[in-house]
Amino acid sequence: MKFDTHIHTKYSPCSNIEPNQLVSVAVGEGLDEIVVKDHNVIQGARETRDFAREFCGEMLKVRLGIELATQFGEIGVSFLSDEEAEEIMRLREDNGKFGFFDVAEQINEMRRRKESQLTVDLHHPFDGSRRGSFDFDGLLESGFFASRSGLMNFFDTVELNTSCMRCSETQGAVNLADVFNKPVVCASDSHFLPQVGRYHTETKHPDAHSAIVAAGKGERGALRHSVIPEEIDYLRARYYRTLSGIRKMFKSAA
C-alpha cells in the first residue's frame, strides 16, 4: 500500500487545496492512506476525512494530523483520534502557535494510553539559521531534555521531506535518522494539487501506522521510499509551493 503522511489543505496559509479535490486526486494517484497536516489547525483534516468516507468509503483512509509551530520550530503529529486532536487544539495560544513544553507533556500523557496511535514527526531536522530549522540547541539548553538522544527519543519518525528542502538538508535528515535509529518516512508536504501522489512511502503492511511501528522495531523493508534525496525535483517543489501561495493570495483578495 502507498501512503503520504504530510499533506496540506486550504486551511494552511500557503496551500489552496480543497479537501474534496485532495480526496479525488489522492485516489486517482493510487494512494491508500494520507495524513492531513495543516498548520496549527485540524479543520482541514476533518473535512477531508469526512468527504473521503462519503466519496470512496475505505478506498482512501484519511488520518488526522497537525503541523505545530512552536518556539523551537515545527513538529508534526500524525494518527490522532478526535479526542487527541481536541486536546492538542486546546493548547493553542492566542498567537495561533503552541508552546513546545505544553505540547510535549500532553503528547507524553496521550502516549501512556494503550489505544493511542499517535506519532511525533520531525519535519525539518536540518541545523543552522535557515528559516524553518528546528532549534535543537535551544531546546537542549532549556533543560527539558537531558541529551540530544533524549530529545530524539521524543520523535517517532524523521521525515524525508520532498518539498522546499535542499538535497543536502534532505540527506541530513536521513543521516540523523540513521544515527538515532529512527524510521524515515518519505512525504510530499503537498501544498498544491500537482504535488499529491508525486512522492510517497510504500509498505507491505496493511496500514501506515503498523508499518512505522514495524520500522521502529528494526524490520528491514517495512518502509520503502518512492525517491532518494538525489532524485527529488526540488525546483519543481518550490515552484508548486510558490504558485499555490500566489493563487491563494489572489483568491483572498477577490
Q: Where are the alpha helices (DSSP H) in the chain?
A: 19-28, 43-56, 82-89, 100-111, 136-141, 148-153, 167-179, 208-216, 234-253
Pairing of strands 33-39, 61-70: parallel
How far is Cα 108 from Cα 154, in angstroms, rounded to an integer?
A: 9
Share of the chain above pLDDT 70, in %: 96
At 224, which amino acid appears?
A: R
pLDDT digits (tens, 9 = 90+) for 49-104: 999 999 998 899 999 999 999 999 999 999 999 999 999 999 999 999 999 999 99
Dihedral pair phi/psi, residue 36, rounded to 5°: -90, 120
In a 3-state reduction of DSSP, which class is residue 196? Answer: coil
How far is Cα 97 from Cα 71, in angstroms, rounded to an integer?
A: 8
| Lookup: cell for 56 | 470512496
Pairing of strands 224-225, 201-202: antiparallel
Q: State in Å, rounded, how far the first CA of the chain is from the last one.
A: 41
| Lookup: cell for 131 | 528559516
Quickly state the pLDDT bin for 169 (edges 50, 70, 90): confident
Residues 155-193, buried b or exposed e (16+ Cβ, 10 A)?
A: bbbbbbbbbbbeeebbbbbbebbeeeebbbbbbbbbbbb
Contact 57, 30 (CB under 8 A): no
In a 3-state reduction of DSSP, which class is residue 182? Answer: coil
**198: nearest Cα among 145, 144, 157, 240:** 240
Residue in the structure block whose three cell numbers are 495543516: 38
Number of residues written out for the chain? 254
Quickly state the pLDDT bin for 163 (edges 50, 70, 90): confident
Q: Which domain holds residue 175?
A: 2-253
In a 3-state reduction of DSSP, which class is residue 163? Answer: coil
Mean residue pLDDT across the chain: 92
Share of the chain above pLDDT 90, in %: 78
Domain count, the chain: 1
Q: Which residues pair with 66 in a beta bridge?
A: 38, 77
CATH number at residue 226: 3.20.20.140
pLDDT digits (tens, 9 = 90+) for 120-149: 999 887 654 555 678 888 999 999 999 999
Contact 105, 98 (CB under 8 A): no
